[in-house]
Amino acid sequence: MAPTLDFLSGSPVTVVGLLLVVAIVYLSIYPVPIGSHEPPIVRPKVPLVGHILGLFQHSWAYYGLIFEASNREPIVTLPMLRGKVYVAPDPDLASAALRNRALSFDPFLRDLITGIAGAKPATVKVWDDAAFYRAWVKILYDNLSGRPVLALNISAVGNVAENLNSLSVGKVEVGNLYLWNQKMFTLASMNSLYGSENPFRKDTSLVNTYWTYEDNMHRLVPNILPAVFASRGHRARQLLNKAFTSYFDADGHADPSVPPFTRDRRELTAKFGLPPSEAAAIETIVVHGAVSNSYPTYYWMFTHVFSQPDLVARLREETAGVLEVTGESIGGKRVVRLHVDRLEERCPLLTSCFREAHRLRAKGALARHVTADTTLSDGGKRTYAVKRGTQVHSPQGVFHVSRELWGPDAEEFVGDRFLELAAAAGNKSAATFSPRGFLGLGGGKHICPGRGFASGEILGSMALLVSGFDVSGPDGGVLEVPGATEVVLTATFGKPRPGSELRGVISRRAGLEDVHWEAAA
């Protein structure tokens, strides 16, 4: 009689359980191979899945726990199932990873297109086309630097100015400063990028829709029945897709108010045969790139700055140098222009505050795929092999708040920290000086292409607020800095902790009640 597989004829649960046991036994007998020159291994307490469970439980903070548990090894290997991840809490090795051309962020972008944007296979095929991707990247870098990005910044900061101009004279009580700023900042960004016909201007509820999408993005990544397991994020994504499909259907990108950055990208996707609905899917990633990190940086900078009255006073002295009293009037109000192009040169303290907010609050991980066997060196005696097909994660939450790197006040907001560090190093610019251990915007060939747009909008928005407005707590006292939530695996920044005091009062500064604010070059 021929042998049978009757032992597999039980319930599906029994079969799955049996196969799982077999897999665990097999993987335990044949563990992930680690070469002699690879970083030392940290084995999980729970075989195979322990580190995965640790990440799910603690998010990126897990890497800080690993750093301490490994006696502060500069880089370690974490086996996960049949793969492995290298974790580099050492800032020199992290910088080396960002510079190494064998390490790439591109595969993560592809994952975003499939899992987070929900693009169809045909769209992913276009994305994988080298000609398309080269043209896409060229559009990004051509339009996010120099004069084009200055135009975007002036537009965005001008939109913030319009919002602030609409505030009534007297004290304006704000029920939630986080959400108030979020709406103002997001709309300013979208108006700058998508022009007068943009979906967010037509339907401001899309601001909440996007941030619901962002808040649930980590549930969308697995891309397994998202309508069931990530229903809120899935629904928000559908609404964003519908809005941008209508925008492209109506040729909203061709409106004269739309910058080349947006118009050229839609012309490219159309050239490669992508319909409006699939161009809209990709656009959700562009929206995400525009505000997901820039708004949190702005919010935490806003909160820290206005919680320190002495710092506000110093900043006001500085921002006076980028303001022009025009002698013109609009609606009976004096026109004062903020010159966005002068901010980094004339406002080093403001720039230092921006970078300090990023240092203190950015607690994600800089991740890169290893596309070929290579080595990472800390610039000294230590060199480690990293293998093709793995990933290198550099946790900002470790080296950004390291006392060894930043001193005993590493976990405090010190507005002039970067100014003082630059001066001590003989560097005249707080904007360009890069102290060891600061990797706020990535680095190497994959440094954030939108950093100029983000920094200009943040600096300009804060310069307007500091120059023309007072911000206090609900009782008129100093603004309180809320605690932050844990950073989820698809994010870099935490949000205000539930239960935090987020109320505040905004008012025009005495003597500036009759000012109409504008942004210009």
DSSP string, 116-145: IS---HHHHHHHH-HHHHHHHHHHHHHHSS
Q: In the predicted model, is pLDDT for residue 496 greater than 70?
A: yes
User: What is the distance between the alpha carbons of residues 264 and 252, in angstroms, rounded to a whole number?
Assistant: 13
On whether 353 is known to bind a ligand per the annotation, the reply is no
Give me the domain span that covers residue 428. 119-362+403-436+440-519
Residue 18 clears pLDDT 60, i.e. is over it = no
């959700």: which residue's tokens? 284
For residue 64, count CB atoms less than 10 angstroms from its CB and return exposed for 0-12, middle for 13-18, buried for 19 or more.
Answer: middle
The whole-number pLDDT of residue 422 equals 94
What integer is the mean pLDDT of 457-475? 98
Domain boundary at 402, 426, 459, which?
402
Q: What is the pLDDT of residues 446-462, one digit of tens each?
A: 678 889 999 999 999 99
Burial of 204 from C-beta contacts in 10 A (0-12 / 13-18 / 19+): middle
Mark which of 354, 378, 402 sits at the end of a domain.
402
Q: Which two tokens stand for residue 283?
A: 């656009």
pLDDT of residue 20: 54
Helices 146-165 and 130-143 pack at an angle, to 10 degrees, of 60
- Counting the structural domains of the chain, the total is 2
Looking at the structure, tell me whether residues 507 and 463 fall in a common domain: yes
Shared domain check, 396 and 408 = no
Q: Give the pLDDT score at 93.
A: 97
Query: In which band, very low, low, confident or very high, does the pLDDT at 150 lie, cut at 50, 70 and 90?
Result: very high
342 with 387, same domain: the answer is no
The structure tokens listed for 95 are 């910088």
Q: How many CA atoms lie within 13 A of 2 on its CB side?
A: 2
Over range 375-389, report the average pLDDT.
Answer: 94
Establish if 26 belongs to a structural domain: no
Is there a domain that residue 1 lies in? no
H/E run at residue 236: helix 231-249
In a domain, 236, yes or no: yes
- Domain CATH for 478: 1.10.630.10
Compute the distance between CA of residue 260 and CA of residue 258 in angstroms, rounded to an integer: 7
3-state secondary structure of 458: helix
CB 489 within 8 A of CB 214: no
Residue recorded with tokens 């118009």? 263
pLDDT tens digits for range 167-218: 999 999 999 999 999 999 999 999 999 999 999 999 999 999 999 999 999 9
Q: Is there a domain that residue 2 lies in?
A: no
Evaluate whether residue 23 is within a structural domain: no
Does residue 16 register a pLDDT over 80?
no
Paired sense of beta strands 83-87 and 172-174, if any? unpaired
Same domain for 344 and 481: yes
Question: Do residue 161 and residue 39 come from a single domain?
Answer: no
Share of residues in the chain with pLDDT > 90 (%): 85
Nearest to 416 by CA among 312, 496, 299, 494: 312
Residues 194 and 278 in one domain: yes
Q: Give the tens place of pLDDT for each residue, 245-281.
A: 999 999 999 999 999 999 999 999 999 999 999 999 9
452 in a domain, yes or no?
yes
315-329 pLDDT tens trace: 999 999 999 999 999
> Same domain for 377 and 317?
no
Sign of the CA dihedral running 123, 127, 132, 138: positive
DSSP assigned state of 471? E
> d(Cα 199, Cα 425) in Å, to the nearest integer?
47
Q: Which is nearest to 161 in space by CA: 342, 347, 337? A: 337
Q: In terms of domains, do 211 and 307 share one?
A: yes
pLDDT at 1 over 80: no
Which single residue is written with the structure tokens 């043209």? 135
Q: Give Cα separations from 230 to 75, 103, 218, 220 (angstroms).
A: 34, 31, 9, 6
Query: What's the pLDDT tens digit per position in 84-117?
Result: 999 999 999 999 999 999 999 999 988 889 889 9
Distance CA 260, CA 95 (A): 33
Has residue 26 got a pLDDT over 50?
no
323: Cβ–Cβ under 8 A, 6 or more apart, which residues?
A: 336, 337, 338, 339, 467
327 and 390: one domain? no
pLDDT score of 23 more than 70: no
Predicted local distance difference test score (pLDDT) of residue 112:
86
Average pLDDT score over the chain: 93
CA distance 109 to 48: 27
**148 and 66, same structural domain?**
no
How do strand 333-339 and strand 515-520 relate by DSSP bridges? parallel
425-441 residue pLDDT tens: 988 787 788 899 999 77
pLDDT score recorded for residue 381: 81
Question: Would you say residue 346 lies in a domain?
Answer: yes
Q: How confident is the model at residue 2 (pLDDT cuts 50, 70, 90)?
A: very low
pTM over 0.85: yes
* Cα–Cα dist 152/192, whole Å: 6
425 and 389 in one domain? no
Percent of the chain predicted with pLDDT > 70: 93
**Of 354, 383, 402, which residue constitutes the final position of a domain?**
402
Count of CA atoms in the C-beta half-sphere (13 A) of 431:
14
Residue 21 has pLDDT above 80, yes or no: no
Q: Which residue do the tokens 């699939």 mark?
A: 278
Instruction: Report the DSSP pairing between strands 383-386 and 374-377.
Output: antiparallel
pLDDT band at 225 (very low <50, low <70, confident <90, very high): very high
CA distance 437 to 434: 8
Q: Give yes or no: residues 324 and 413 share one domain.
A: yes
Length of the chain in terms of residues written: 521
Tokens coding 160 = 């913030």
Tokens of 3: 């042998």
Residue 310 falls inside a structural domain: yes
- pLDDT at residue number 34: 84
* pLDDT beyond 60 at 77: yes
